[in-house]
Amino acid sequence: MLKKTLAVFVLTAFFAALAPASGSCAGPLPKGKTIAVLVRSGSAQYARSAEAIIISSLLQGGYNAVDQRQLESIRKNKAAALALDGDVDAILKLSQTYGFNVLVSGRATVHDPVKNEFGLFTATASVSVTACQGSSGKQLFADSASAKEVGYTGAEAGQKALESAARAAASAMIEGRSSAGGTAAALKDLEVEVSGVRSFVEAHAIVEVLDKAGCGSSSLISFSGGTALVKASWSGAPDSLAQKIIQQRSDLALEKIENGRIYMVRR
């Protein structure tokens, strides 16, 4: 009986060692799978541009991607918005309906261009990507890339920065590394609760702050009674994210951090 128990223990430990760590974002996407790419942005043009670049990069890397006509059909499905927020049931539904194996959901943000003393414009953009298995919703990879470009107009600078960030994010995903080089860090889900928020516009502005802070993904969970609750993926400690938020929004103050949730108040 003792020998049998020891044998089971050894086998369990052996297979556990072979299995990837839960929540790990490292490693390239599996080849031979069909991938669907959905990107959200404040601008439909930026979203479609980022999608096109990511899809092109995947095809060049030897991956199969859902074609544009089918992708348009996926976008119109009610489950698409939920899938972009990481809803597992929505990912499974879309995968079963449209026959893809991996969903790459992204968020593209282009910050306001700044005009310099030479009459040129500088813009910064960030593109975050999260890849999940269509059959289980398991996260395979998550990372965020940013880029800064110069253009003769603000629109040109913004478009160039977006394209550079999208290429960097796609390259990192294909190679299984972070966009800054090395192994991508595992992201953890955190919640940020902000009180004193006066409107849905202000609530969604909190999401944009988390994007700028470098979160792999962020989404508004609820807004009620002046309190906005936002979910975000972050590779560091909760207090480091809180400091990033405060650096960008001096009107937000940290109240406490408890059980993976950051509590803040709008002053």
CATH number given to 188-266: 3.30.70
C-alpha 88/C-alpha 61 separation (Å) is: 27
Q: In 111-201, where do the E strands start and end?
A: 114-115, 121-133, 139-151, 188-195
Decide if domain 34-175 falls under CATH 3.20.20.80.
no
* pLDDT, position 156: 93
C-alpha 68/C-alpha 81 separation (Å) is: 18
* pLDDT, position 4: 42
* pLDDT, position 195: 94
**Cβ pair 227, 193 in contact under 8 A:** yes
C-alpha 248/C-alpha 116 separation (Å) is: 22
Pick left, alpha or beta for residue 157 (phi over 0 → left; psi -120 to 50 → alpha; otherwise beta). alpha
* Fold match between domain 34-175 and domain 188-266: no
Q: Is the dihedral of CA 242, 247, 248, 249 positive or negative?
A: positive
* pLDDT, position 256: 92
- Domain assignments of the chain as residue spans, ordered by start: 34-175, 188-266
Please give the model's pTM, rounded to 2 decimal places.
0.60
* pLDDT, position 18: 35
* pLDDT, position 14: 36
* Ordered per-residue pLDDT tens for the chain, 267 residues: 444 444 433 343 333 333 333 333 445 677 888 999 999 888 899 999 999 999 999 998 889 998 888 888 998 888 888 888 778 888 899 999 999 999 998 889 898 888 877 788 988 898 988 888 888 888 888 888 888 898 999 999 999 999 999 998 898 888 877 665 333 445 678 899 999 999 888 888 888 888 777 776 678 888 888 999 998 877 777 888 888 899 888 899 999 998 889 999 998
C-alpha 83/C-alpha 95 separation (Å) is: 10
According to DSSP, the β-strands at 188-195 and 217-224 are unpaired
Neighbour count for residue 146 (Cβ, 10 Å):
20
Neighbour count for residue 169 (Cβ, 10 Å):
28
Radius of gyration of the chain (CA): 20
According to DSSP, the β-strands at 227-234 and 252-258 are unpaired
